[in-house]
Structure 1
């Protein structure tokens, strides 16, 4: 998410740089040989910082069922923890980028990590939903420095020619592997201390990250004055708009879109706030957001491709995880699957770093789409007897495809922002982070809604055949009722319990069929995306061809 934050140079503005007390440390010359121990040390620091930031959100996301017991809330209420984090993350990340630019990297790193340590430690004192939501909202802002620093530490030891290839790929490594790693380590943490056990580890990681920042210095980019008085209006409006939509997309399918009036109020607030941001920015002499560039065809295509891939990659986070949750499997029973996903993610980033180069992005993305379409189609044949072993190959393909997509997309989009210069950097960050944060929420909300609707459809179709005149239904009810033979002496009560168990079995079967429909939908969408990508490349080649050839 914050790849561009680390790669971004300081904004080119006509204002004078702020005076500093000490000159910035000079970066290593491009031709200087970097010792191997330094590369390993700074690379490990980058991965560690990325994992720490990634676990900050994923330890909660992966353990909502365990956390709800600790906080005494329902399953739906526990999702407020995710909504709180996401509601502050977009605007907070943009704000901290400008803070880093104006006040310097060193101060940004030390103060930012200190705040992160305090916010993480505050989780240990949150014992109810309200206090937990408050600290999660603060965490959405406080975690932003970590992902930025993860990239700075990786780029610190990269040669200039490798910064936008190997640097991007391995700068993403820590954050990418944190997703499966959170599900692997969380069962033991929950046993040790439930909700507090998760963040006892996170507090320790935050303290170690703070030590890394103090012990391993990195080059200081020049400081520049980038804040404007009108930012006092733009930032609150951006925070309100993005926060409203983050809450709406996280909770909409749980409270259901048309059954809860305050969801409509949130949507109205989000639309009004973001519309006000667009109006305000269009009238500014030095706007924070370059609306003209953002509405150009190349940026619309870039944003659209990011959204499509985020939607497709939700097959793993929303689809497979949801399927196994409906089958009653917990994280400790899925550990091997997540280890395989972790290994495939690392392999995908390594391979992508070797393949990235000028003009190769379409081919890499096409390969990723082929893997996604194939994996999703194979997953669409799941049954209620399916177990993680049947998903090892397909989820490795999905993780590999996810690792292949983001680095080339970031390289292309950021290259366009660099070529334009000025406030295009901040505009690019808003598009990139918005599509990654809100895009992921859109994918989860859309796919989750689709599963709910399809489950109702299949459940209705199955229940139509569960009648008392069907001998097979009667036989199944009697079989289920037999389980209560030693505890219930009343035949009528046993039959009623048997009917309830049969209804639960039908609901589970309908849920599995709904997820099969979801996987098939994702496969179809991936094929459609392949067609659009190939067509777009044909159009580009046709436009780039000499007039004589293009007219043939």
Structure 2
């Protein structure tokens, strides 16, 4: 029997896309089981990277490395995670979902086990890269399981929830990762992750996805493109991840990596542009609709990086993760609420408005944070962080649906969309963190220069502050000169702290401006489409594809 021969499906069973599972009727208990397994798999895929990112300072101490060196861990994950989407889509299409499911979950578990035997930075980087390859498969796998839980008429809601679950990983990691570190230091994180990986493997072996069609899709030129694109993305990821730490203009190797990334990625795209059956459809990706979609997602990702600024701000005030637990509960509640409201309200016609609404919500939250002082504590940031968590989870589902609908209308572009979505999400997060972090450093230097130029001993207030700072150590230091030096150091530390607070306020205000400018651009484009272009819609191609899905679903019903 030819395994690549198209199967005969009932109308309601037909797979939506090549490589996706079929959609047979399920009983209610079976639908619930699919939903729970989809949640477990999606959380497992996102939690591994989140546990590392939120605990980088502790991992740095455990591994005994410098702050610049520890940044290679998240960079290594992104390097492989983004480029693997080039091959994973075709792997599902040619070898089937079941092999895809079991193989990559086993690889994920093995990579987690390898973490337990890591004793140095080099081996940790290698294991994180392996984790990025296997973790790239889990988000898609979780989405497929969640979709099986929904009947055809509510499939869009399933897409929003399946994609949104991965957004819960970071606040979830901040909630309990400290307790895991107390068990066995950094190995406690990986024991938990190994347990999640084995739980996911057991679940998918117990309840398998329905089969789909299989096709011979791999071509030799696919691997040529991958051999150019993957190292190019890796070099770009290294630049974005470490640029702020080693500083952009002070490390020669950053420029060499950026030049190499441009050459390699350009060569890969040039090959794809001239192929008859391209792996990456450059002509489709450069259409107006897809370009605007990618740009809007990148801008929103920069806005979402405000969360990194919030963590840095609170750490500047001397707070640790234990003192921010309630804040992360609030962020988690906001993310869950945003995901549920997005799923409840989504329709093809509402997608532009949902994206604009998420920008409004995040702009309000970021502006509220821009008035922080050294007396600000997590309790004063509950409302703003709830809004930011809500807006971040609210936008991810409609964004994916808008592009996914265009893929349904042209299934050959599935790989292209997967690469574009992965780049805008994963590399977009790195880009957002790099921009926010760099802007904070620049503004801190600016505010420090303004504050310190007025700190002179000729000012009686400054002299009194130095004297009081040294007097607190009078019982320890008997030498007046040493006490005076300590007073100067104490005043300098206070000035640095205030400069950082002002810099973070500038970051929050910058994020607000970016959100409002993005909102104005999207609103202007939408109004232009209504007034000048007919039929009107920023996501016209997306809605055409979604409408096709809806028509197919109605026929099956």
What SS does the corresponding residue of 2:208 show, helix, strand or coil? Answer: coil
Rounded Cα–Cα distance in structure 1 between residues aligned with 2:342 and 2:34: 21
Does structure 2 conserve the Cα–Cα contact (< 8 Å) formed by 1:24 and 1:221?
no
1:518-533 map, 5 Å: 518-533=507-522
- Structure 2 CA distance for aligned equivalents of residues 23 and 485 of structure 1: 85
**Structure 2 partner of 1:550:** none
Q: 1:329 aligns with which of 296, 319, 338?
A: 319
> Which of 109, 123, 128 lines up with 1:136 in the alignment?
128
Instruction: Give the equivalent residue in structure 2 for 1:126.
Output: 118
Does structure 2 retain, via aligned residues, the 8 Å contact 1:115–1:142?
yes
Please give the alpha-carbon distance, in whole angstroms, between the structure 1 residues aligned to 2:293 and 2:447: 37
**Match in the other structure for 1:35:** 27
The aligned counterpart of 2:445 is 456
1: CA distance, partners of 2:9 / 2:438? 52
Alignment of 1:155-234 (within 5 A): 155-163=147-155, 165-234=156-225
Question: 1:345-397 deviations in whole A, cap 9, x for unaligned?
Answer: 11111111111112111211221111111111110000111111011000100
Counterpart-to-counterpart distance in 2, 1:74 and 1:336: 31
The aligned runs of 1:216-365 (5 Å cut-off) are 216-316=207-307, 318-365=308-355
Partner deviation per Cα, 1:434-487 (whole Å, 9 max, x = no partner)? 111111111111111100000000001000011111111111111211222122
**Structure 1 residues 122-160: Cα deviation after superposition (integer angstroms, max 9, x where no partner):** 000001111111101111101122111111110112112
**How big is the shift at 1:172?**
2.3
Q: Which residue of structure 2 aligns with residue 368 of structure 1?
A: 358
CA distance in structure 1 between the partners assigned to 2:261 and 2:437 by the alignment = 21
Segments of structure 1 that go 5 or more residues without pairing to the other structure are 1-15, 547-552
Say whether the 8 Å CA contact 1:481–1:494 is kept in structure 2.
yes
Q: Structure 2 vs 1, CA of residues 282 and 29 (structure 1 numbering), >3 Å: closer, same or farther?
A: closer
Farther-moved stretch of structure 1 (530-539 vs 193-202): 530-539
C-alpha deviation, 1:531, in angstroms: 1.5
Shift of the 141–17 alpha-carbon distance from structure 1 to 2, 3 Å rule, reads farther
Instruction: Find the aligned partners of 1:116 and 1:109 in 2 and give their Cα distance.
Output: 11
Q: Could you report, residue by residue, the CA deviation over 1:28-67 in whole angstroms, capped at 9, with x for unpaired residues? A: 7599864332222211111111111111100000001111
The CA deviation at 1:204 is: 0.9
Structure 1 position 322, deviation (Å): 1.4
Q: 1:465 to 1:292 in 2, by over 3 A?
A: same
RMSD: 2.1
The structure-2 alpha-carbon separation of the partners of 1:26 and 1:217, relative to structure 1 and needing over 3 Å to count, comes to farther
- Equivalent position of 2:466 in the other structure: 477
SS at match of 1:359: helix
Counterparts in 2 of 1:326 and 1:27: CA distance versus 1, 3 Å: farther
2:421 aligned with 1:432: yes
CA distance in 1, matches of 2:352, 2:273: 33
Alpha-carbon offset, residue 418 of structure 1? 1.8
Structure-2-length-normalised TM-score: 0.91
Find the aligned partners of 2:25 and 2:232 in 1 and give their Cα distance.
Answer: 48
**DSSP-derived class of the 2:276 partner:** coil
Q: Distance in 1 between matches of 2:10 and 2:35?
A: 20
Aligned mates of 1:24, 1:116 — CA distance in 2: 34
**Aligned residues of 1:102 and 1:226 also touching (Cα < 8 A):** yes
In 2, the alpha carbon distance for the partners of 1:17 and 1:292 equals 34
Aligned partner of 1:12 in structure 2 is: none
Rounded Cα–Cα distance in structure 2 between residues aligned with 1:168 and 1:43 = 12
- Give distance in 2, aligned partners of 1:32 and 1:19: 20
Task: Indicate the larger mover: 511-520 or 69-78.
Answer: 69-78
Q: After the TM superposition, which segments of 4 or more aligned residues of structure 1 sit over 6 Å from their partners?
A: 22-28, 30-33
Residue 74 of structure 1: CA displacement? 1.9
2:390 — aligned with what? Answer: 400
For the 8 Å contact 2:59–2:186, the answer to whether it is kept is yes
Q: Deviations over 1:291-318 (max 9, x none)?
A: 11111111111111111110111111x2
- 2:85 counterpart residue number: 93
Cα distance in 2 between the residues matched to 1:23 and 1:231: 26
**Number of residues of Structure 1 aligned to a counterpart in Structure 2:** 528
Alignment correspondent of 1:70: 62
319-328 vs 52-61, which deviates more?
319-328
Instruction: Give unpaired runs (5+ residues) of structure 2.
Output: 15-22, 536-557
Question: How far has the Cα of 1:25 moved from its partner?
Answer: 10
Confirm or deny: 8 A CA contact 1:18 1:225 kept in the other structure. Answer: no
Partners of 2:164 and 2:396 within 8 A in 1: no
Match 1:115 to one of 75, 95, 107: 107
State TM-score, norm by structure 1. Answer: 0.92
Change (3 A) 1:182 1:543: same
Partner residue of 1:9? none
Q: Distance in 1 between matches of 2:166 and 2:516?
A: 28
Return the alpha-carbon distance in structure 2 between the equivalents of residues 255 and 545 of structure 1.
50
Whether 2:489 is the aligned partner of 1:497: answer no
* Secondary structure in 2 matching 1:166: helix
| 118-127 vs 357-366, which moves further | 357-366
CA contact (8 A) 1:86 1:247 kept: no
Partner of 1:378: 368
The answer for the alignment partner of 1:80 in structure 2 is 72
Paired with 1:375 and 1:472, the residues of 2 have a C-alpha distance of: 37
CA shift in 2, pair 1:17/1:419, >3 Å: farther
